[in-house]
Amino acid sequence: MHIWIWSYVTQRKEPFQPGEPVHILFAFCDHFEPKWGNASYEKEVERVVRWCKDYPDMAAKHKDADGNHPKHSFFYPQEEYRKEHLDDLVQLCRSGFGEIEIHLHHDNDTAAGLREKITEFLRDLVVTHNAVPLDSDRKPKFAFIHGNWALDNSRKDGRWCGVDNELAVLSQLGCYADFTLPSAPSDTQTSKVNSIYYAQGRNGESKSHNWGVDVEAGKSATGDLMIIQGPLCLNWKERKFGLFPRIENSDIRLTSPPSENRVDLWIKCAIRVRKQPQWLFVKVHTHGTQEMDMDTLLGEPVDKMFTYLGSKYNDGSDFVLHYVTAREMYNMAVAAQAGKKGDPNQYRDFEIKPPGYFGNETCE
């Protein structure tokens, strides 16, 4: 906690504009790893099929102010690529339940090795699956989550990365934003918390995203990569051993179910683009393919979380709820930076357009 606690207790929050609704932009980002735990191929298939079947059944019961169901951003690991798994996830996403982004676990790597891995994976995602968007120059664009939290070689022992200037390399490859954080209680956690900011990579230096320049309405981008953090705070109502506050790190799993109190804490963290106080960015995360957690993620606990979000934070006057993908959340952040106000729903595709797949098919 010594890494981030001072920033947390001294953070300043902009006041809301009186008489205007607060828009809640809610993104669920998943470190989606079918091979987790060295699973057999049969177990991998079972995990993917369950998500394709159970997630639409649960999510279809809920809608935001724009008529969207909850959207899941599947950050799929490059090193676990299987065509059949991505085919199934693309079908799920075509039905309006999410989008596919890039996850990566690597160790003792180099900038050249990172380029090769991401370039090869992007080729698969674009040519085989049409699963990531292209910019006006036909260059793939993607969001990123780093495996083992070790973005920009941020572990003290140097494991699970190896690339000091990783932010610049990712940006050059087409990454528009990183969604790795928060990572507490890991030592990869940054000092900067509850923020949307630009980080600048530096040759020969690791963890260069420890600090950065806040994204602000009316100001140009400053740095290599936008960092969109999820909520990080202290939870005094759900104490450890009945005494100590728990670390609220926006992780959802069996041992950390999404209680109403936790949802309220995410909102209170008030992650925003500076000078656009009415749009609150709430990014939560999970590891969706671990059997111990699936009943939480695909069953009653998350179902009740969406019910609570819809009942408390979507009344249309005080709060307006928007379920977004990682790409849509980034677009809304860029729109806020450009000075846009009002209903963020109109800015879901502000800069990065949707991926090329379309239709209404569902997984079989």
Q: What is the CATH number of the domain that holds 252?
A: 3.20.20
Statement: residue 363 has pLDDT above 80:
no
Q: Is residue 77 reached through a cis peptide bond, with omega within 30 degrees of 0 on the bond before it? A: no
3-state secondary structure of 191: coil
Classify residue 3: in a domain, yes or no: no
Q: What is the pLDDT of residue 241?
A: 81
Provide the 8-state DSSP code for 134: B
Q: What is the pLDDT of residue 357?
A: 81
Q: How far apart are CA 188 and CA 123, in angstroms?
A: 30
Residues 166-196: pLDDT tens digits? 999 999 999 999 999 999 999 999 999 999 9
Average pLDDT over residues 18-41: 97
107, two tokens? 């160790």
Residues 315-357: pLDDT tens digits? 999 999 999 999 999 999 999 999 999 999 999 999 999 998 8
Widest pairwise Cα distance in the chain: 56
3-state secondary structure of 228: strand
% of the chain exceeding 90 in pLDDT: 93
Look up tokens 């320049």; give the residue.
213
Classify residue 330: in a domain, yes or no: yes
Residues 222-271: pLDDT tens digits? 999 999 999 999 999 988 888 889 999 999 999 999 999 999 999 999 99
The one-letter amino acid at 173: L
pTM: 0.97
Classify residue 319: in a domain, yes or no: yes
Classify residue 9: in a domain, yes or no: no
Q: Where are the alpha helices (DSSP H) in 34-135?
A: 41-59, 83-92, 111-123
Residues 295-324: pLDDT tens digits? 999 999 999 999 999 999 999 999 999 999
% of the chain exceeding 70 in pLDDT: 98
- Looking at the DSSP assignment, which residues form a beta bridge with residue 279? 23
Taking a C-beta distance cutoff of 8 angstroms, is the pair 114, 175 a contact? Answer: no
Q: What is the pLDDT of residue 240?
A: 83
Residues 141-159: pLDDT tens digits? 999 999 999 999 999 999 9
Band the pLDDT of 358: cuts 50, 70, 90. Answer: low
Count Cβ atoms below 10 Å from residue 39 Cβ, excluding itself.
18
Please report, in angstroms and rounded to a whole number, the separation of the first and last CA atoms in the chain: 45
DSSP string of 252-310?
-BTTB---HHHHHHHHHT----BT-TTEEEEEEEE-TT-HHHHHHHSSHHHHHHHHHHH
Average pLDDT over residues 2-23: 94
Closest C-alpha among 100, 109, 161, 177 to residue 356: 100
- Looking at the DSSP assignment, which residues form a beta bridge with residue 199? 225
Statement: residue 34 has pLDDT above 80:
yes
Average pLDDT over residues 83-105: 97
Average pLDDT over residues 12-24: 94
Distances (CA, A) of 294 to 13, 47, 100, 303, 363: 35, 9, 19, 12, 18
Taking a C-beta distance cutoff of 8 angstroms, is the pair 102, 31 a contact? Answer: no
Count Cβ atoms below 10 Å from residue 248 Cβ, excluding itself.
24
Please, what is the average pLDDT of the chain? 96
Classify residue 306: in a domain, yes or no: yes
Q: Is residue 185 reached through a cis peptide bond, with omega within 30 degrees of 0 on the bond before it? A: yes
What is the domain range of residue 90? 20-347
Band the pLDDT of 361: cuts 50, 70, 90. Answer: very low
Counting beta carbons within 10 angstroms of the beta carbon of residue 40, is it exposed (0 to 12), middle (13 to 18) or buried (19 or more)? exposed
Q: How far apart are CA 287 and CA 259, in angstroms?
A: 18
224, two tokens? 């290599």
Name the domain count of the chain: 1
